[in-house]
Amino acid sequence: MTTKEEFVAGPGLPLTDAEFGKDGAMYFLTGGRRTASALWRVTYTGSESTAPIKRDSAGSPLPELSEKLLKAPYAEVIENLGSSDRFTRFLARVEVERRPMDELKKALKDSNDPWQLIDGAIALARQGAKSDRGMALGWLSKLKWSALDKAKKLALLRAYALTFSRLGAPGETEWKDTIAALDAGFPAGDDELDAELCRVLCFLQAPQVVDRTLVLMAARKDTKWPDWAELATRNSGYGGAVLSMLRNSPPALDIHYAFCVRNVKGPWTEGQRRQIMEWYASVQSKSGGNSYKKFLARMQGDMLKNATEGERKMVAGWKLPQPKSLFDGIPSPKGPGKTYTVAEVAKIGSDLSQANLENGKKMFKATLCYACHRVGGDGGSAGPDLSAVGGRFTVTDIADSLLDPNKVVSDQYQFSILSKKDGSSVWGRVVEEKDGQLTVASNAYDFTQTHDLPRSEVKSIKPSPVSPMPAGLINTLNEEELRDLLGYLLKK
């Protein structure tokens, strides 16, 4: 069992890369985006050995075990395949995969050892032929779900998933047998097991999987915080923003469930369709990453594609709750504004001790920054998260970006110019290319608004030198409002 602890920390530490040198020291770089860069070196001054040695459950160094297995008789390799130590099993499986699969088939013909059968099936899935699917499933069918502990159950589900993904979908008999082996175990009352059971059973289109999954989604009212959340409490700036986002975080396990059931083909009942559609509407207001709402829209679209035509018409007729627009309730600045220069903004930002952060938050919305950027989990996601901008950029850097966003356009958020063969052009971001179709988002404020463009009609796609962000948005503010905005962004 391992534990995590904070290793290196500090306000304004924009990590860009890290590496361990031959001298045993850790080197990392900070900087980026036109900020000052620095190279850091971290060394250990204690007396304990820092040699990177991993050992198996018997205390033998794993590199030595690996070398030993390379020359070991096949029976010894198979014996290690059934080890209670997962590192030993891993090395044994890697060695099995190096050798002919016919030897594995002979060795496991009469085996009833759970780990040998599970890891043997994984090896066969990875290195065997499609004709070996029946044998791999035969090994797994020897195992009774109720007789396995949690670790073996999770490994069994992974073995099934790998077998189907690499050796092909099951035939009718295999399909029935696999559902019969797993269906009674769902739900298991354990988040990890239920997540994997849902994944496999949805792939198999198990008859009751939608009903049982929606019951789990209806019952869950909480989201477990990650174990690293405690670190965020140590930093009042960036950490506070992280905690704010976590307080409004989406239900991660429910999203996984929705992701799985989206592939289960209709018909569903009317109640099931209404529950899942209302769930999609309810999670729109949660705080996710930059692609959060785009992923939700894609999941919902996939789910409806797998519905029947009648179900799609039924859903289209419902008046479902609509997500709140980012432009609802946006305040207006008092002004009067002016055309600011970088020097003027830097001067105003040189002393933010009297900045009204609450009013700065209002100005963040009034200047429409809120529509594309988020601070503390609140705002749009078309542009970079500004929660920690104070730890990475100076007031001059921020002023430069606000007044001349075209000066440096990040490739992460850059739009493209799509020149068409008919002489016209389209400006936007290509969010997907599939089956000869480009999906293009042209609304910088909402990437869920897209249109399709046949790839055959496009002559060229080039990065646009024009930023999606309009220039001079702060010019609507008076100096006091601008000071408050800068204070809010820099948290001063």
For residue range 430-483, list pLDDT tens digits in order: 888 888 888 888 777 767 677 788 889 888 888 888 787 877 788 888 889 988
Instruction: Dump pLDDT digits (tens) for 354-384.
Output: 888 889 888 888 888 877 787 876 777 777 7
Residue 237 confidence (pLDDT): 55
453 in Cβ contact with 438 (< 8 Å): yes
223 pLDDT band, cuts 50/70/90, is low
For residue 262, pLDDT over 80 is answered with: yes
Is pLDDT larger for residue 246 or for residue 111?
A: 111
Multiple choice CATH, 342-405+470-490, 1.10.760.10, 3.10.129.10, 3.30.530.20, 3.30.2130.10: 1.10.760.10
Q: Is 381 exposed, middle or buried (0-12, 13-18, 19+ CB in 10 A)?
A: buried
Say what the pLDDT of residue 111 is: 94
| Cα–Cα dist 372/354, whole Å | 27
| Residue, of 36 and 160, whose pLDDT is higher | 160
Q: Answer with the residue of higher pLDDT: 430 or 204.
A: 204
Q: What are phi and psi of 38, to 5 degrees?
A: -150, 145
* Residue 166 predicted with pLDDT over 80: yes
Tell me the average pLDDT across 294-301: 90
| Residue 370, pLDDT score | 77
Predicted confidence band of residue 39 (pLDDT cuts 50, 70, 90): very high
What percent of the chain has a predicted confidence (pLDDT) above 90? 40
Whether residue 56 has pLDDT greater than 70: no
The type of residue at 92 is A
Long-range contacts of 315-319 (CB under 8 A, 24+ apart): 315/273, 315/277, 318/274, 318/277
Q: Is 382 helix (H, G, I), strand (E, B) or coil?
A: coil
In this structure, the number of other CB atoms found within 10 A of the CB of residue 376 comes to 20
Whether residue 346 is predicted with pLDDT greater than 80 in this model: the reply is: yes
- For every residue of 306-353, DSSP letters joined together read TS-HHHHHHHHTS-PPPPPPTTTT------------HHHHHHHTT--T
Question: Any residues with CB less than 8 A from the CB of 252 and at least 6 apart, and which?
Answer: 223, 224
Q: How confident is the prediction for the chain on average, in pLDDT? A: 85
Locate the domains of the chain by residue range. Answer: 1-51, 53-99, 110-207, 229-316, 342-405+470-490, 416-463
Contact yes or no for 108/134 (Cβ under 8 A):
no
In 3D space, the residue among 470, 474, 475, 365 whose CA is nearest the CA of residue 415 turns out to be 470
Note the pLDDT tens digit of each residue in 145-154.
999 999 999 9
- Asked if pLDDT for residue 180 goes beyond 90, the answer is yes
pLDDT at residue 474, as a whole number: 85
The three-state secondary structure class of 459 is: strand
Residues with Cβ within 8 Å of residue 201, at least 6 apart in sequence: 179, 182, 183, 186, 209
Predicted pLDDT of residue 402: 83
Please determine, for residue 57, whether its predicted confidence score (pLDDT) is greater than 90. Answer: no
Check residue 45 and give its pLDDT.
Answer: 86
Half-sphere CA count of 360, side-chain side, radius 13 A: 19
E strand or H helix that includes residue 122? helix 114-127
How large is the average pLDDT for residues 341-363?
Answer: 87
Query: What confidence score (pLDDT) does residue 263 get?
Result: 96
Q: pLDDT band for 126, please (50, 70, 90 cuts).
A: very high
> 15-19, 202-206, 304-308: lowest mean pLDDT where?
15-19
Highest mean pLDDT (candidates 235-244, 301-310, 380-389): 301-310
Give the per-residue pLDDT at 206.
96
What pLDDT, on the 0 to 100 scale, is given for residue 242?
A: 66
Per-residue burial over 387-397, b = 16 or more CB atoms within 10 Å of its CB, e = otherwise = bbbbbbbebeb
Q: Among candidates 363, 369, 400, which has minimal Cα distance to 382?
A: 369
Residue 259 has pLDDT above 90, yes or no: yes
450, with CB counted inside 10 A (0-12, 13-18, 19+), is: buried
Could you tell me which residue, 153 or 237, shows the higher pLDDT?
153
Query: In this predicted model, which residue has the larger pLDDT, 222 or 177?
Result: 177
DSSP 265: P
pLDDT in tens, 383-434: 777 777 776 677 888 888 888 887 777 777 788 888 888 877 788 888 888 8
DSSP element (H, E) containing 9: none
Which three-class secondary structure state does DSSP give residue 43? coil
pLDDT in tens, 316-335: 998 877 666 666 667 888 88
Chain-centroid distance, C-alpha 23: 35
Cα dihedral angle (189, 118, 255, 386), rounded to 10 degrees? 120
Sorting pLDDT into bands at 50, 70 and 90, what band is 169? very high
Alpha helices in 12-107 (DSSP H): 62-71, 74-81, 86-98, 101-107
**416-463 belongs to CATH 3.30.750:** no
Q: Copy the structure tokens of residue 47.
A: 């007396």
- What pLDDT shows up at residue 222? 58
pLDDT of 202 higher than 60: yes
Residue 290's pLDDT is: 63
